[in-house]
Chains A and B, each alone.
Chain A
Amino acid sequence: MCLAIPGKVVSISGDDPLTRMGKINFGGIVKEASLAYVPEVIIGDYVIVHVGFALSKVDEAEAQKVFEYLKQMDELGDLTEGEK
Chain B
Amino acid sequence: MDINAYIESGTLELYVAGQLSEEENQEVYELLQKHPELLQEVLEIEAAVVKLTAAVSPHSINFDSFKGQLGGADTKVVDLKPTKPGWISYTGWAASILLAGGLLWTLNNKTDLENQLQTAETENQYLEIQIEDARTDLAVTKNLLDAIRDKDILAVPLGGQGDYASTYAKVYWNKEDNTIYLDAEGLPNAPEGKVWQVWSLTLNPLTPTSLGTIDDFNSDDNKIFTIANANESQAFGITLEPAGGSESPTMEQLYTLGIVQTAP
A and B are partners in one complex rather than unrelated chains: no
